[in-house]
Amino acid sequence: MSLENTTYDELEPGASFEHRRVCTLDDLYVFASVSGNHNPMHLPDNEGGDDDDNQRPVASGIWCSSLISAVLGNYLPGPGTLYHKQNLQFDGRVHAGDEVITRVTVKEKHPDGTVTLSTEVRQLETGNRIVHGEAVVIAPTEKIFYDDGNLPGLVVQRHRHFSALIRQAEPLPPLLTAVICPEETQSLGGAIMAAHHNIITPILVGNREKILQAAEELAEDISGFELVDVDSEDAAANAGVDLVTAGRAKALMKGHLHTDHLLRAALRKTGGLRRGRRFTHVFVMDVPGVDNPLLVTDAAINISPDLMTKVDIVQNAIDLAISIGIECPKVGVLSAVELINPAIASSVDAALLSKMAERGQITGGLVDGPLAMDNAVDPGAAGTKGIKSMVAGHAEVLVVPDLDAGNMLVKQLTFMAGAEAAGVVLGAAVPIILTSRADDAMSRLASCAVAAIHHTRMAGDDPKGAEA
């Protein structure tokens, strides 16, 4: 945006400017971070909110007054303006979601180069005054033109999508979950936290002494949870699978053990959890600045999947996306290029998957490929390349060519974009919650929430569950 000031000589009493602005949740988070004011009145604990002001966070009065500063510095008088003094009277409150209008009006010019302006902020819909007062500023004496397009962007690292998933899961019946080897504080703490949120009912499977020691370190009472005492990782994994096949558990959750031990038990030929499709892994990513959860698959199990494995990868991801509220998932099948190149196998597979979806061999979503990463998620990049597609630029599910690419993508989003990742294995008789030792509490909780939501939808009206 190009800004131009009004100099002291150009200012006339009565000159006025007004500016509209919507107060967003991100505004409140940014203000709290920058100002250090963490008053919970100004921070939402329920990001969904509603129309009741009592349920919506209220903006700090100083945030409201900063809107006056923005008009003075940007528009009237504009660039070059410096504050001399400001008085304020607070008459009302702004809540998240309110649109407000800020108005400044020149009242008087003074021989010393200062200017007095009346200032006010009103709620646009009602016209109610929020704050008013007078500002005295040192007006610029030279014309200044300024382009603020070079200002760095700001991404608020809050995880609203995970918060929404947790709220969605909490009213559901808790998912009876065999937690395998929760023998240290991270894995046990994640299961206990999910239990406190009423998302899972854990059955703790592993070395009793280690589990009790972890609980003691956490200062948590686990006497209300069933504990199955087994000594080794393999024995614990097999015991957890046995609980599922016996109908006593509806999900598995990885604790402090290697993933291959858990999957080996789940894939065993006798009494295993195979149900026709390949086991595939989906990361549900909460990426700051992205308007929807972003699903990445498969970045954890299938190393170099062939075409038919990719069919299961895509279908499982579509099913999960629908479960978490994406009505018709847009699936971008990634390659290094967006045009089919026989020398790049992933581009050929992507085109075949797209055609298979078109012919009904993959259902429930829109599938398009090959797409490069940029034109899969950015409408501008898709437009520049001339790609006409309902998926390009708007993909909600990203299907990677192989595990290498998926692992790199997820870790780039996590460590460079501030994303959080929830991980679930699909294609088995029950969801398998696959967490990493590096996962924080929010990731573990969100993984449980995703599993519970998906299980509930797939189970339908069958009390035994379609997946169990």
Report how many domains make up the chain: 1
* Sign of the dihedral defined by the CA atoms of residues 125, 127, 131, 133, in that order: positive
Report the distance separating Cα 66 and Cα 20, nearest Å: 13
Q: Is residue 134 part of a domain?
A: yes
Note the pLDDT of residue 148: 76
pLDDT by residue (tens digit) across 241-264? 999 999 999 999 999 999 999 999
In a domain, 6, yes or no: yes
CATH number at residue 61: 3.10.129.10
381 three-class SS: helix
- pLDDT of 465 > 60? The answer is no
Evaluate if residue 173 carries a pLDDT over 50. yes
Instruction: Supply the pLDDT for residue 53.
Output: 57
Whether residue 317 is contained in a domain is answered as no
Structural domain includes residue 258? no
Contact between 321 and 295 under an 8 Å Cβ cutoff? The reply is yes
pLDDT range class, residue 56, cuts 50, 70, 90: confident
| Lowest model confidence (mean pLDDT) among 203-217, 359-373, 431-445 | 431-445
Residue numbers of the domain that contains 126 = 2-150
Residue 178 to residue 440: CA distance in whole angstroms: 20
In a domain, 110, yes or no: yes
Q: Which two tokens stand for residue 22?
A: 């919507």
Quick check: helix, strand or coil at residue 139?
A: coil
Task: List the Cα angle 385/390/394 in 5-degree steps.
Answer: 75
Q: In which band, very low, low, confident or very high, does the pLDDT at 171 lie, cut at 50, 70 and 90?
A: very high
What was the pLDDT predicted at 291?
84
Quick: pLDDT tens for 330-371.
999 999 999 999 999 999 999 999 999 999 999 999 999 999
Residue 139 lies in a domain: yes
* CA dist., res. 69 & res. 66, Å (int): 5
Tokens linked to 113: 């180069």
Whether residue 208 lies inside any domain: the answer is no
pLDDT band at 156 (very low <50, low <70, confident <90, very high): confident
Q: Is residue 129 part of a domain?
A: yes
Summarize pLDDT for 80-130 with one digit per residue, the tens. 999 999 999 999 999 988 999 999 999 999 999 999 999 999 999 899 999
Residues 183-196 have a mean pLDDT of 93
- Answer yes or no: is pLDDT of 203 > 80: yes
Listed residue (202, 180, 201, 184) closest to 264, CA to CA? 180
